[in-house]
């Protein structure tokens, strides 16, 4: 069996930002890695951390969800005492005795490597993958550092990326000043807002508690999607004059039942008399919305019927649905973490102009897709499309 190429990307990730994501994808693709471990530090010996290890872990898990070759690791967070690179590399070497390990560092870290705790013990265990900023000429000091490290026995691979002008410090400063920082994955931005990290103010009191519970209830990709839908629901609510807090609550909880086994969704639906529709009861892709409204009530204490309604119908809509429910249904479709395709971009553009028209477009695209694959289209989606077409906002002249 051929040797695998394994990357090790550690950092405080306080918080993880798009620059980190760009570096990770550069290492993965240009560095031809089979797997990349992203490792938030536990107690770094020389650095202050602002968010707890668990918060940084969840943000990293959300930001890197959806790519099977990227594996967030708790190897440092779960270790007591100060964390040193040598301990992490040794732990990964035990897991990958025959593979090639690459420790990923930015160019600015090069000069410090010889001062790391037991640095020379690292050199036989892993190579260094140095990511330079694209278009920047390697400085004299970094060239010297490479020569020095090589003379000590280090192996160095150089790559370049363009991570943009962003740092975790800049993000924290923007939050502390009451602003919305650039350079964050939407899931991370919403997570910071919900948990009140770095001076951000949560929009409603239970946002942090719900976010913690959702992390336990959902797979990382679904968790990240839920945060992104919440953020997008707020944006649409503000744009169309709906209550942003209700929109955020519904957005956060809309998929809260999504990762439950079908049998559990069915028993929730029966016990709470949510539906007796056999088509709905047999399909998790449909039932999770109705069951989700039940879970939102029973486990998250959500009593507001406007929010429960938005959750219950987020995947099909319904004739006569409220504009709040429209915001959540549309946000579910256009949230920025979804991969782009031409029709999605058209719906995103329309969402800036007309809530009703954008929702109609999104349901039509979904219906066409489902029908083209010979899958079952729930009649409520058809009814909602028909109803939306009767609205003045969706008439040909508008």
* Closest approach of Fe ion to the CB of residue 252, in Å: 11
Return the range that interacts with Fe ion (CB under 5 A); candidates 8-16, 23-31, 329-337, 354-362. Answer: 329-337
Residues 23-62 that bind Fe ion (CB under 5 A): none
Give whole-number Cα distances, 219 to 65, 74, 215, 352, in Å: 9, 16, 7, 30
* Closest approach of Fe ion to the CB of residue 376, in Å: 16
* Closest approach of Fe ion to the CB of residue 179, in Å: 28
Query: Is residue 332 near Fe ion by the rule CB under 5 A?
Result: yes
Query: Is residue 350 near Fe ion by the rule CB under 5 A?
Result: no
Query: Is residue 335 near Fe ion by the rule CB under 5 A?
Result: no
User: Whose Cβ is closer to Fe ion: residue 14's or residue 255's?
Assistant: 255
* Closest approach of Fe ion to the CB of residue 315, in Å: 5
User: Whose Cβ is closer to Fe ion: residue 188's or residue 286's?
Assistant: 286
User: Whose Cβ is closer to Fe ion: residue 36's or residue 229's?
Assistant: 229
Return the range that interacts with Fe ion (CB under 5 A); candidates 65-73, 106-114, 328-336, 360-368. Answer: 328-336
Nearest to 210 by CA among 233, 197, 191, 186: 191
| Residues in Cβ contact with 2 at an 8 Å cutoff, skipping those fewer than 6 apart | none
User: Whose Cβ is closer to Fe ion: residue 255's or residue 350's?
Assistant: 255
Residues 247-286 that bind Fe ion (CB under 5 A): 255
Q: How many residues sit close enough to Fe ion to count as binding (CB under 5 A)? A: 2
Return the range that interacts with Fe ion (CB under 5 A); candidates 57-65, 148-156, 183-191, 327-335. Answer: 327-335
* Closest approach of Fe ion to the CB of residue 368, in Å: 19
Triad 110, 115, 120: Cα angle to 5°: 90
* Closest approach of Fe ion to the CB of residue 258, in Å: 6
* Closest approach of Fe ion to the CB of residue 236, in Å: 14
Q: Is 96 left (phi over 0), alpha (psi -120 to 50) or beta?
A: beta
* Closest approach of Fe ion to the CB of residue 64, in Å: 19
Q: Tell me, residue by residue from 279 to 318, as one string, x for binding to Fe ion by CB under 5 A and - for no binding.
A: ----------------------------------------
Phi, psi angle pair for 373, to nearest 5°: -100, 15
User: Whose Cβ is closer to Fe ion: residue 73's or residue 362's?
Assistant: 362
Return the range that interacts with Fe ion (CB under 5 A); candidates 1-9, 31-39, 112-120, 330-338. Answer: 330-338
* Closest approach of Fe ion to the CB of residue 134, in Å: 35
Residues 139-178 that bind Fe ion (CB under 5 A): none
* Closest approach of Fe ion to the CB of residue 331, in Å: 9
User: Whose Cβ is closer to Fe ion: residue 57's or residue 333's?
Assistant: 333
User: Whose Cβ is closer to Fe ion: residue 192's or residue 265's?
Assistant: 265
User: Whose Cβ is closer to Fe ion: residue 255's or residue 356's?
Assistant: 255
Contacts to Fe ion by CB under 5 A: 255, 332
């Amino acid at each position: 069996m051929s040797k695998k190429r394994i990357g090790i990307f550690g950092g405080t990730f306080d918080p993880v930002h798009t620059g980190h994501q760009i570096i990770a994808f550069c290492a993965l693709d240009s560095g031809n890695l089979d797997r990349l471990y992203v490792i938030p530090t536990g107690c770094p010996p020389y650095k202050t951390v602002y968010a707890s290890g668990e918060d940084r872990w969840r943000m990293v898990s959300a930001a890197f969800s959806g790519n099977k070759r990227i594996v967030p690791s708790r190897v440092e967070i779960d270790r007591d005492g100060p964390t040193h690179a040598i301990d992490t590399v040794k732990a990964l070497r035990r897991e990958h005795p025959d593979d090639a390990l690459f420790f990923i560092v930015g160019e600015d870290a090069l000069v410090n490597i010889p001062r790391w705790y037991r640095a020379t013990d690292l050199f036989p265990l892993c190579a260094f993958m140095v990511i330079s900023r694209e278009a920047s000429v390697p400085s004299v000091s970094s060239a010297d550092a490479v020569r020095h490290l090589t003379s000590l026995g280090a192996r160095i691979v150089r790559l370049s990326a363009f991570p943009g002008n962003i740092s975790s410090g800049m993000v924290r400063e923007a939050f502390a000043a009451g602003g919305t920082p650039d350079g964050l994955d939407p899931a991370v931005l919403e997570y910071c807002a919900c948990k009140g990290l770095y001076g951000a103010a949560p929009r409603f009191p239970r946002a942090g508690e719900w976010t913690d519970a959702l992390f336990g209830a959902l797979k990382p990709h679904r968790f990240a999607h839920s945060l992104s839908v919440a953020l997008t629901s707020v944006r649409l609510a503000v744009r169309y004059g709906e209550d942003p807090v209700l929109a955020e609550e519904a957005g956060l909880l809309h998929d809260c039942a999504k990762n439950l086994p079908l049998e559990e969704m069915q028993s929730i639906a029966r016990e709470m008399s949510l539906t007796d529709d056999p088509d709905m009861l047999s399909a998790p892709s449909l039932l999770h919305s109705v069951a989700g409204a039940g879970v939102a009530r029973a486990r998250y204490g959500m009593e507001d019927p406007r929010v429960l309604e938005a959750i219950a119908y987020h995947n099909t809509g319904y004739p006569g649905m409220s504009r709040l429910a429209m915001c959540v249904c549309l946000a579910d479709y256009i949230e920025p973490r979804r991969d782009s395709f031409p029709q999605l971009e058209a719906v995103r553009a329309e969402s800036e102009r007309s809530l009703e028209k954008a929702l109609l477009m999104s349901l039509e695209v979904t219906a066409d897709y489902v029908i083209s694959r010979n899958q079952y289209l729930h009649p409520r989606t058809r009814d909602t499309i028909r109803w939306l077409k009767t609205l003045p906002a969706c008439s040909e002249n508008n």
